[in-house]
Chains A and B, each alone.
Chain A
Amino acid sequence: MTSPSSKLLATTDVTKFFGSFCANDRISLDVDAGEIHALLGENGAGKSTFVKALYGLVRPDSGTITWKGERVEITSPARARELGIGMVFQHFALFDSLNVAENIALALPQDVAVSDVVARLDEITARYGLALNAEAAVGDLSAGERQRIEIVRCLMQSPTLIILDEPTSVLTPQEADQLFVTLRQLVNEGRSIIYISHKLEEVQRLCDRATILRHGRVVANCDPRTTEKGELARLMVGDLVHAARPSGSAAADGIALSVRALSMSAPSLFGVDLQDISLDVRPGQICAIAGIAGNGQSELFEALSGERLSNDPAAITLLGQPVGHLGIAERRQLGADFVSDERLGHATAPDMSLSDNVLVTRARTDTDLMRSGVLKLERARSLSQRIQDSFDVRSGAVDPPANALSGGNLQKFVIGRAVDRHPRVLVVNQPTWGVDAGAAARIRKTLVSLAEGGSAIVVISQDLDEIFEIADSIAVIARGRLTALYPADQMSAEEIGLWMSDAEAGASQRANSTFQTAGVGLDNND
């Protein structure tokens, strides 16, 4: 070990609260010169908050940052760049209509001419093998090429430390390989890299050291090259002691929701293609879909809810009826309901009152809320009150707008709005995301008792504790593919953690397992 003064960067007890939520809890970490340091953790573990603090985008509440032996305050990204810290974000900030050189010039001080940028650009691209054409319009480039622009933009400032936030999430395997070559070269020049990822294989291939975060805390430091993959996964998701609900405890015969070979292309560049998804959920069953965010959960939710339609009506069957071509309101009328992961703006209109927000999902299902197109606002108000009373939604005012409620209370309202109907099929995306413990417990209890009443429930969640607490069967989604559904009491957290980073491995391992409840044909060729 080198002495602390030779460290390029060292942080001591960096802590950051958002309201009462502690995103970073006394994080201490150090980075040597010429090292690739991995920051591993599930979504919500606090990785992004921590690196944002290093890049001056977030001001830590307490703790110190030492840079090249001197204590520094990083007050803004400009200050970070001045110190020699650069960052490449997961999502790109580029203008499609401008060309590569113009996009780079925009990030530089105003007195730099575009022609100078082109010269430096050519020099950097040649040196690091980052093939880029200065004249190309960004709108025509692939995700990998766009990322190269961001990297070049970052290198223009010749940083000593480069922070990469999940750089491979938008890349093809070939593009990722190319990126690794560049990163090695940067390190050989004496630069250091902080590499954020949850892909274990990559981290093992690339990184010298790893710091693992869970729930905002550092849980381990290790050498990823000598640590078992399973061990890394266990460290990331935690050592869970769980008493899962026995599988199919109350599951009745018949299938309430069935998905057959559903494929859908991504709605946007950063979206995920759904590939050949199959799933059967019985009445009384709570089926959890585990996975790291951004692996197709939102896309799957939109497909199940009918916000995006499938070309094949039979791809999704609801209570025996093909519904792939039906919209969300029609699916609700058939007895399903849906709760999206985004409380404000998606599940509710932020500026509208709770009684108006009751109408968002209930106007077309509850016959007493509307007669020939005219709304019964009194009834909407009393229904809203009923939901607030029975689901313990606390709000200071009478019929407040949705954005006046705290996250937990609004989530209880949104779940209550759906559960109050006793839907026969309920699909919930991240039911307790960012919700305080009390509200989370209440929501889980609500879901379990709904299932006991004979409803089929699909819970899309990243929270393994939650999954093991309420689900009786589990499937894992990774890169838009879904594994088969397995009984929860026969799964370990470690196994799920591994599949979350590589669904194909999971599918092949378990392909012939005898307790498979749904046939899933995943090909393992790629």
Chain B
Amino acid sequence: MIRLEARPRPSWWAALASPVIALVLTLLTGCLLLLAFGKDPIKGLYYLFIDPITVWWSLEEVLVKATPLALIAAGLSVCFRANVWNIGAEGQFIVGAIAGSALPVVLPEVQGPHVLPLMLLCGTLGGALFALIPALLRVRFGANEILVSLMLVYVAELFLDWLVRGPWRNPAGFNFPETRQFHEWATMPIVGDSRLNIGIFIAIACCAVLAFVLSRTYFGFGVRLSGTAPRAARFAGISRNRTILLVMALSGGLAGLAGIMEVAGPIGQLRIQISPGYGFTAIIVAFLARLNPVGAIAAAFVLSVTYIGGEAAQIAIGISDKITRVFQGALLFFVLGSDVLIRYRITWTRRTPVIQTPEPAAVERTST
């Protein structure tokens, strides 16, 4: 029988090495996968991971996709540190996008410099309120926040679908399921003449602030304490319920902000499909970053490369871009796996203890 045995003290180097080990194992798995498809694995990996960062335009595209990932993952890191499992960031992203879009879609005649800040605020609030639904159900009725937040993703997706096909459809849009294009005051300012917008700076700033909050403030301390030792948190006078509500609202708010920045940025309007699964991929980002908001920036970059690389590989060597999903899944698997192996070691024991053990007493005494 396989048993996990806690290591006395996890080594610090293993903690740093674990994301790297996970990446290497993911690449090895990817090689095997490509071989199985009859493709050259070296060429495949080149297009998947190297090609996207060799030319400026695709590097830009990587950064554009990394922005929402980093922002969502930073919020999720705080949430997961509190041992609260918000799996519905995808839904909060969508609801944030909807809430923020209401102004330019419903009242396009409202113009001026106050429009964009208002949209970002509404998007953040929308995401936060949507995340509070599973939080309140958890606090009030003990409902599992993993299930509720996950199921609300489908609610959000279908609501968005209905909106852009129905009431919010562009009257001058030839019946395409999209809203009107956002006017100039309602779009994110572009950096230089690139595809990048100021959202990337907002995301980096949010990550930095959250890292500070988590490590240096009493609120962050309470979040960590509540996650690792809930009874000690109660002993400190920190309410578990309040913590659950706050971290869910925070992570939902940031997902909502990412949502409105996405539709007010690269997309420029609401469509039935606004996210290639950012909310779910951000979970992988958060774990690859070992639940550190600053680490989320680097981890978001890595995951974003797989999105662009998937497309590149599809064009160059003719494999489905669904391979992106496989790589992301493998990465999460290996990240969680190496995390477990840092804290535990595997031991094999026999299922039935042998009755005739020589001097069992002596054996047990020395082991304690």
Give the contact stretch, choosing among B43-51, B192-200, B360-368: B360-368
Closest to B227 in A: A349
Q: Complex formed: what's the CA distance from A61 to B361 in Å? A: 4
A79-B355, A364-B237 in contact; A374/B229 too (CB < 8 A)?
Answer: no
Once the chains bind, are B218 and A370 in contact (CB under 8 Å)? yes
Which residues of A are found within 8 Å of B219, using beta-carbon distances?
373
CB contacts under 8 Å to A, within B214-231, are 216-219, 221, 224-225, 228-229, 231
CB contacts under 8 Å to B, within A143-184, are none
Once the chains bind, are B231 and A346 in contact (CB under 8 Å)? yes
Interface residue tally of chain A, by bracket?
35 or more
Once the chains bind, are B361 and A360 in contact (CB under 8 Å)? no
Once the chains bind, are B236 and A75 in contact (CB under 8 Å)? no
Which residues of A are found within 8 Å of B224, using beta-carbon distances?
352
Once the chains bind, are A19 and B368 in contact (CB under 8 Å)? yes
Once the chains bind, are B216 and A374 in contact (CB under 8 Å)? yes
A76-B353, A79-B355, A377-B216 in contact; A340/B235 too (CB < 8 A)?
Answer: yes
Closest to A305 in B: B235
Closest to B364 in A: A59
Once the chains bind, are A350 and B229 in contact (CB under 8 Å)? yes
CB contacts under 8 Å to B, within A339-361, are 340, 342, 345-352, 356-357, 359-361
Residue of A75, A338, A348 most packed against chain B (CB within 10 A): A75
Q: Which residue of B221, B232, B235 is within 8 Å of A375 (Cβ)?
A: B221
Which residues of B are found within 8 Å of A356, using beta-carbon distances?
221, 225
Closest to B355 in A: A75
Once the chains bind, are B216 and A346 in contact (CB under 8 Å)? no
Q: Complex formed: what's the CA distance from A108 to B225 in Å? A: 41
Give the contact stretch, choosing among A191-199, A322-330, A479-487, A504-512: A322-330
Once the chains bind, are A363 and B218 in contact (CB under 8 Å)? yes
Once the chains bind, are A351 and B234 in contact (CB under 8 Å)? no
Q: Complex formed: what's the CA distance from A60 to B219 in Å? A: 48
B9 CB within 8 Å of chain A: yes
Q: Complex formed: what's the CA distance from A348 to B231 in Å? A: 9
A223 CB within 8 Å of chain B: no
Closest to A76 in B: B353
User: Could you mark each residue 77-94 of chain A with 1 if its beta carbon is under 8 Å from any beta carbon of chain B, else 0?
Assistant: 001000000000000000
Once the chains bind, are B365 and A352 in contact (CB under 8 Å)? no
Q: Complex formed: what's the CA distance from A179 to B364 in Å? A: 38
Q: Complex formed: what's the CA distance from A328 to B235 in Å? A: 7
Q: Complex formed: what's the CA distance from A60 to B9 in Å? A: 29
B236, chain A: closest CB distance, angstroms:
5
A489 CB within 8 Å of chain B: no
Closest to B231 in A: A346
A215 CB within 8 Å of chain B: no
Which residues of B are found within 8 Å of A61, using beta-carbon distances?
361, 364-365
Q: Complex formed: what's the CA distance from A363 to B9 in Å? A: 27
Q: Complex formed: what's the CA distance from A359 to B222 in Å? A: 10
Closest to A348 in B: B232
User: Could you mark each residue 198-223 of chain A with 1 if its beta carbon is under 8 Å from any beta carbon of chain B, else 0?
Assistant: 00000000000000000000000000
Q: Complex formed: what's the CA distance from A213 to B265 in Å? A: 76
Which residues of A are found within 8 Å of B221, using beta-carbon distances?
356, 359, 363, 375
Q: Complex formed: what's the CA distance from A357 to B232 in Å? A: 9
Q: Which residue of A306, A349, A373 is within 8 Å of B232 (Cβ)?
A: A349
19 A-B residue pairs with CB within 8 Å: A59-B361, A61-B361, A73-B355, A73-B360, A75-B357, A76-B353, A79-B355, A307-B235, A328-B234, A338-B235, A342-B231, A348-B229, A352-B229, A357-B232, A363-B236, A374-B217, A375-B216, A375-B218, A404-B9
Chain B residues close to A by CB (< 8 Å): 9, 216-219, 221, 224-225, 228-229, 231-237, 353, 355, 357, 360-361, 364-365, 368
Instruction: List 7 extra interface pairs beyond A61-B364, A360-B236, CB under 8 A.
Output: A17-B365, A59-B364, A75-B357, A345-B232, A360-B232, A361-B236, A374-B216
